Amino acid sequence: MNTAADEAPRSPGRLVKGIQGLIGLFQFLPASLTLLVLRFAAAIPFWRSGVQKWDGFLELSPGSRWLFENDFQLHILGETYPMPMPVLSAHLAAIGEIVLPILLIIGLGTRFAALGLLVMTGVIQLTVPDAWPTHHLPWAAMLLALMTWGPGKASLDHAVARWYGMPAR
């Protein structure tokens, strides 16, 4: 007759094997799915911000213009500086926040789109320095991963590379 004391030494072994089996299932997740989800996750916050900056086709919203001209300040080495060329900066940010997420989602020029959004993240970090742990660091991590590993097979980059007989990374 087995008692609870007899079963105790075997339980950790079962638990470890169960965890190893669960971890083994992760190897069946296709990298292309993971990279596709990563592309969407990185693109969405920028897209949402970009959509809010426009009042119509190539018409910047008055609120966005006001923010860049009056509110947004660059925080560099303990000092604050006004946004350089605020109207141009607002237009470039608004265009970048629309175009680059689209490129990221469809997987076209993915590494360059991720680089552009990473540069934007750096500028946003200088503008809103307290948001680095909740926003900027996760964005930067996602974008760096996409720059490193590329968009995956579920992308136009992969289709173009195959079309031209190039190795897709």
Per-residue pLDDT, averaged over 66-72, amounts to 95
pTM of the model: 0.83
Q: What is the DSSP string of 77-118?
A: TTEEEEPSSHHHHHHHHHHHHHHHHHHHHHTSSHHHHHHHHH
Tell me: pLDDT of 160 over 60: yes
Residue extents of the structural domains in the chain? 33-163
Which of 21-25, 87-91, 100-104 is least confident? Answer: 21-25
pLDDT of residue 9: 53
pLDDT of residue 14: 86
Q: What is the DSSP string of 3-60?
A: -HHHHTTHHHHHHHHHHHHHHHHHTTS-HHHHHHHHHHHHHHHHHHHHHHTEEETTEE
Tens of pLDDT, residue by residue over 12-57, are: 788 888 888 888 888 888 899 999 999 999 999 999 999 999 998 8
Indicate the Cα dihedral angle 82, 87, 91, 93, nearest 10°: 0
Question: Phi/psi class of residue 77: alpha, beta or left (left: φ > 0; alpha: ψ in -120 to 50)?
Answer: left
pLDDT of residue 2: 57
pLDDT of residue 81: 95
pLDDT of residue 6: 53
